[in-house]
Structure 1
Amino acid sequence: MASSWPPRTHARTHAALAIMHAAVCPALQWMVADYTKFTPGNKPQPNFLRIIEQIPGFTDTADVTPVLISQLNWPSYNIPYLRSIFNASGYPAMVAKYGAEYTYESNSRALIFARNVSLVTDWMSARALLRYNNYLHDPLAKGDPITGSISSRGDFRTPKPVAFGGVDTKVTSMRGSMGPDFDLRVFAESGPTHDQLPFFAWSGANGAFASVQHTLVPAEFDFDTVMFEM
């Protein structure tokens, strides 16, 4: 994690540091925004936004600033963007077997991001998008509370609920991350989403989690968004 908060480090350098220390990491995508390459009101310069994707034994990186400029957002949803990682992870075979839900461009989350991102105008609407799960009523979700929405709720899966899903949300901005002393301001909410669904409780899901140990973990996650300054 030594390279994860480099306020004066360029994106390309950060990517190189991440690759050096990626040997024991699982499958991940890191996104690095270099604010020295962006002035509000102007297009970002090349290498403003660089991603690093990694699987055990292999890491790749790319400048995705042109994509950001083209679609005005960069979504990330658990499917590799870089073709090298996509292929090495076995996704082509999954696409052939199961269809579009395993593609980067046409899975449910990709389509929901593309449809809803224009609604984001401030931190509250960004938070709402990141915690969105309307699987019961959104046709893009296809009735799936896990992969069918932005923030998963595995406890609503039928017939076998699972204690799996999005566990929190953090939102910041350029202004919030670039204070005079590189202070960081983050809006965060603990627990699975409960915007369109009831809040998560270990006693829920018809008792499916009755035997799950959750020592020092709240029995219910009915929390509001809180601002942190660091």
Structure 2
Amino acid sequence: MISIITLFPATVTSVVGTLASNEDFVLTSAKLAILETTISNYNESSFKFITPTSVLTWIRSQVAHRSANTAVSWAKTFARFDSGTYNNQWSIVDYKKFSPHKPLPSTGLLHVLEQLPYFSSIFSRSGSWKFVQKFGDWFTYEGNPRALIFARDQSTVADMKTLRKLMRSNDYQHDPLSRCNCTPPYSGENAISCRSDLNPPNGTYPFPALGFRDHGATDMKATNVSLMATQLFEGISGPTYDPLPIFDWNTTPLKENVSHIGQPLQFRFPPVVHRWPSRPNSATVAVIKFFQRAKLQLAEFVVVFEATNVSLMATQLFEGISGPTYDPLPIFDWNTTPLKENVSHIGQPLQFRFPPVVHRWPSRPNSLHY
């Protein structure tokens, strides 16, 4: 039996040729705003628990984006078949629960899915605690400079302009929360919109993350309730530059070792809101029509039968029959059905007359299982 689910279109930040958003910034037509930040797992001994019988993050997130109608259902869908790799802190905001100038609901507006690092047991097992003992609060959940800056400055946000200012903020040479036991005594990493490229290559730092490297905030993306109504967002491309120097490939020491073919020499761009066309183009229409047809056809067909019992279940087996039922009905035949004119069936058998089958898994996994 095939179940029919509603698919929600999504706005994602990505690049041409990829199916997922590598940045994981997603706005869906179910009025969910989804983002994450990646957290490192320093406990290499835990890698032995990673198994190929799982689903990678980019697939699980895509399924959750397209099928979830609430923040909680997104988290539950994403959590299934966890791969144990690419661990993140996910934040899901349900804009259906938000009304401007009205009290916030007690539940349902924001759901946070923590893979790392919030829960103390997970924090310890990830190996983060040894870095806290060695280097201090920079590696803690509450005492990291970025967390402290957000806690201090979040109350300044009242509109898109002030949100933009916070998300692009970096005054590392003067902000006391950007200071470190370094030479010089601060780091461009310790800011909301970090710029490690501004740290001197000859500086001294207790660990590499605080020093000079090709790492930083490469853009800013934000939405609000009015933009979210049509899945729009404001974006600024490039590292922050006010009051800091504009990122310039002509002058940065990174130019010697970091490829930047095809990039602009300077990243000085204003905020942009990309407006989607009011009418979908021909390619979009074709995709919509395809799914509409597929949904109609699938809703009217039982194309496979699967069943198990207690003896089969002991080894995770089941009996299956492929194709529409045919006893006492006519066998489904692409030669004779009127569907052949409008429904693609390349590679399918002409007739669906198959007996019941129980697939027996090999007693020892073959090379493909590894």
Q: TM-score, normalised by structure 1?
A: 0.78
Amino acid aligned to 1:163: D
* Equivalent runs, 1:162-181 vs 2, <5 Å: 162-177=213-228, 179=229
Q: 2:140 aligns with which of 69, 79, 103?
A: 103
Q: 2:155 aligns with which of 110, 115, 118?
A: 118
The answer to whether 1:50 aligns with 2:111 is yes
Amino acid aligned to 1:157: N
Cα deviations across residues 137-163 of structure 1 (Å, max 9, x unaligned)?
A: 1111001101x1111111112235322
Cα deviations across residues 6-49 of structure 1 (Å, max 9, x unaligned)?
A: 59611111001222365275132211112333444122232321
Cα deviations across residues 51-84 of structure 1 (Å, max 9, x unaligned)?
A: 12336xxxxxxxxxxxxxxxxxxxxxxxx33434
Three-state SS of the structure 2 residue aligned to 1:185 is coil
CA–CA distance in 2 between the matches of 1:101 and 1:229? 40
CA–CA distance in 2 between the matches of 1:83 and 1:28? 16
Q: Which residue of 2 aligns with 1:218?
A: 264
- Displacement of 1:5 in angstroms is 4.0
Q: 1:130 to 1:85 in 2, by over 3 A?
A: farther
Amino acid aligned to 1:199: I
Amino acid aligned to 2:187: D
Which is further off, 159-168 or 186-195?
159-168
Cα deviations across residues 69-127 of structure 1 (Å, max 9, x unaligned)?
A: xxxxxxxxxxx334344233222221111111111112211121111112111111111
Cα deviations across residues 201-220 of structure 1 (Å, max 9, x unaligned)?
A: 22223x34224221222222
Q: Any gaps of 5 or more consecutive residues in structure 1?
A: 56-79
Three-state SS of the structure 1 residue aligned to 2:89 is strand
Three-state SS of the structure 2 residue aligned to 1:16 is helix
Q: Which residue of 1 aligns with 2:275?
A: 229
* Equivalent runs, 1:68-87 vs 2, <5 Å: 80-87=117-124
Amino acid aligned to 2:188: P
Question: Larger Rg: 1 or 2?
Answer: 2
Three-state SS of the structure 1 residue aligned to 2:152 is helix
Q: 1:208 to 1:215 in 2, by over 3 A?
A: closer
Give the length in aligned residue pairs: 200
Q: 1:87 to 1:216 in 2, by over 3 A?
A: same
Q: Which residue of 2 aligns with 1:10?
A: 70
- Displacement of 1:172 in angstroms is 0.3
- Displacement of 1:226 in angstroms is 0.7
Contact 1:53 1:85 in 2 (8 A): no
CA–CA distance in 1 between the matches of 2:125 and 2:226? 37
CA–CA distance in 2 between the matches of 1:185 and 1:192? 21
Which is further off, 117-126 or 29-38?
29-38
Q: Any gaps of 5 or more consecutive residues in structure 2?
A: 1-60, 180-185, 203-211, 277-370
Q: Which residue of 1 aligns with 2:91?
A: 31
Q: 1:225 to 1:21 in 2, by over 3 A?
A: farther
Q: Which residue of 1 aligns with 2:192?
A: 150
Three-state SS of the structure 2 residue aligned to 1:50 is strand
Amino acid aligned to 1:209: K
Three-state SS of the structure 2 residue aligned to 1:32 is strand
Q: 1:47 to 1:25 in 2, by over 3 A?
A: farther
Contact 1:108 1:149 in 2 (8 A): yes
CA–CA distance in 2 between the matches of 1:214 and 1:195? 23
* Equivalent runs, 1:170-209 vs 2, <5 Å: 170-177=221-228, 179=229, 183-205=230-252, 207-209=253-255
Which is further off, 10-19 or 36-45?
36-45
Three-state SS of the structure 2 residue aligned to 1:2 is helix
Task: Work out the percentage of aligned pairs sharing the same amino acid.
Answer: 35
Q: TM-score, normalised by structure 2?
A: 0.50
Q: Following TM superposition, where does structure 1 have runs of at least 4 consecutive aligned residues deviating by more than 6 angstroms?
A: none
